[in-house]
Amino acid sequence: MTALSALFARDARIAIRIGGGAMMGVLFFLTVVTLVPFAVGPDLALLRRIGPAILWLGALLSSLLALDRLFANDHEDGSLDLILMARLPLELVVAAKAFAHWVTTGLPLVVASPILGLFLNLEPTALAATGLTLLVGTPALTFIGVVGAALATALRRGGLLLPVLVLPLTVPVLIFGVAATNAAVAGPVPFDTPFTILCALTLMSGVIGPFAAAATLRYGME
């Protein structure tokens, strides 16, 4: 497993170095969340009601920000050739890269969400519920996103193709993430019901995502 841990460590290290994607996601998250009150107006009751949805939307958009470079950088500098030739299953390689990406860009969003929640006048229960649902839900966004990242690399198209492909697939995660948060704050559905579905979505995408992305790279990189 040293080869996989080496890959994880390399990707994580590049992300936190200058020019890496780790801080960009959080700054974009901050920008999106602070823009909303300017657009909606200083209605504290309204912000409190739509706060979890805004945090989830912000996290969704931020988590896709650096994703299109996940394989494109490796493709451009030839690393992907050596990775494809490696003695490791490509599925595990994709999973390791996706996990490194989540740790460096998804996890900071989770950590930042309670602070940004304060900007939106969220109560402590809502802050905790948003943080928890983001912690469970953002891996699903990354694992769905790697399929789009692989496809964008295989098609030699970057930029907007990725969000156009990936965002529709993330709708269930968004629905159950926000639903679970709202259930924790206002009810009437118990928190567990949407939350367990959110967990199931993450587990499913964690299995399907690496296989789909690996298949895309294998047949697309010729």
Partner 1 sequence: MGAADAKVSEIVVMKLSGHDLACIRGGRRVFNGVGFSLAAGGALILTGPNGAGKSSLLRLIAGLIHPAEGHVALEGGDPELSVGEQSHYVGHVDPLKPALTVTENLAFWARFLNGARAIDEAAVVERGLETVGLADLARLPAGYLSAGQRRRLSLARMLAVPRPIWLLDEPSTALDAASQERLQRVMHTHLSAGGLIIAATHGPLGLAEPQELRLGMPSTGREDSCVDIDALDAMP
Indicate the residue among 17 and 159 with the shorter CB distance to partner 1. 17
Shortest Cβ 96–partner 1 spacing (Å): 10
Indicate the residue among 8 and 29 with the shorter CB distance to partner 1. 8
Shortest Cβ 76–partner 1 spacing (Å): 7
88-118 exposure pattern, b = at least 16 Cβ within 10 A, e = fewer: eebbbbbbbbbbbbbbbbbbbbbebbbebbe
Q: Give contact residues for partner 1 (rule: CB under 8 A).
A: 1-3, 6-7, 9-10, 13-14, 17-20, 74, 76-79, 81-88, 221-222
Shortest Cβ 7–partner 1 spacing (Å): 6
Token representation of residue 175: 């629905």
Indicate the residue among 81 and 192 with the shorter CB distance to partner 1. 81
> Which 8-state DSSP code applies to residue 103?
I
Indicate the residue among 2 and 38 with the shorter CB distance to partner 1. 2
**Among candidates 205, 53, 184, which has minimal Cα distance to 138?**
205
> Is residue 190 exposed (0-12), middle (13-18) or buried (19+ Cβ within 10 Å)?
exposed
* CA-to-CA dists, residue 118 to 32, 113, 179, angstroms: 14, 9, 20
- Residue 183's SS3 state is helix
Shortest Cβ 206–partner 1 spacing (Å): 23
Shortest Cβ 81–partner 1 spacing (Å): 6
Shortest Cβ 86–partner 1 spacing (Å): 7
Indicate the residue among 79 and 121 with the shorter CB distance to partner 1. 79
Indicate the residue among 3 and 128 with the shorter CB distance to partner 1. 3
Token representation of residue 165: 């492909």
> Which 8-state DSSP code applies to residue 106?
I
CA distance 140 to 102: 10
